[in-house]
Amino acid sequence: MAALRYNSVMKTLILSDIHANIIALETIWAQERDSDLILCTGDLVDYGPFPKEALDWVRAHGVICTQGNHDRWVARHFREGQTLESVPVAERAWVHYNVGRIDETDASFLEELPLSVVVDLDGVPYGMTHLYDDYQEIVSLHAFDQFVGQAFNNGSLQRLIFGHTHRQSVRYLSDDYLWINPGSVSYRRQDDPDQTAHYATLTDGVLALHRVPYDLDPLRQAMDQLELRAGEMKVAHFFFGPR
């Protein structure tokens, strides 16, 4: 587990679940260019058409990231050489397309992302990791402390940052204990038709949740040129298709 300390940080941009969506990412950055630090809980790739562009952006902007399940998934398929051309059409998924768009440097970067990191922002430590327990949420102080002990080497933390669920939220478990999910940069779950990009900011200690519309046309155009299995295309049309 990495531990990082930053002093005199006025504004932190908090991201999660970029999912190869450079269009949404650039739209967020156009709004938040005055950020001093950028955090991301992971899932940089998969289920989107621009993995290489997203990874280049993350590295160029010095984003502090943890590893998401889709980051591991894409890296694993890359090692196995599973591109679109290597599997039958009936089995083709976003992961195969993403594998064909990245290179060795990208795969190594994804593999080397830490599972958890503690970021100290002006004396306030935040534990960041991609997920808690599948799609569950921490709803008690007991569960919070148990998880901190497991995921952060028995450290003492009162604030956590998660991603994975794509559900933007802040939950206070007491006056001092809370966890943050900035929501997905790219897309929602299928019970939520919202198509804006979600993220959070922490400015001089004040936390805010944000949603910003972005241009879906480049994603639709890229999607329409792909031939993925039926289930993957159905999901993609829900994410990026017209409402």
Per-residue pLDDT of the chain (243 residues; tens, 9 = 90+): 667 777 778 999 999 999 999 999 999 999 999 999 999 999 999 999 999 999 999 999 999 999 999 999 999 999 999 999 999 999 999 999 999 999 999 999 999 999 999 999 988 999 999 999 999 999 999 999 999 999 998 778 999 999 999 999 999 999 999 999 999 999 999 899 999 999 999 999 999 999 999 999 999 999 999 999 999 999 999 999 998
Q: Which fold has domain 2-237?
A: Purple Acid Phosphatase; chain A, domain 2 (3.60.21)
Task: State the amino acid at position 135 in one-letter form.
Answer: Y
Angle at 186 between CA 185 and CA 191, to 5 degrees: 110
Q: To which residue do tokens 């998969």 refer?
A: 46
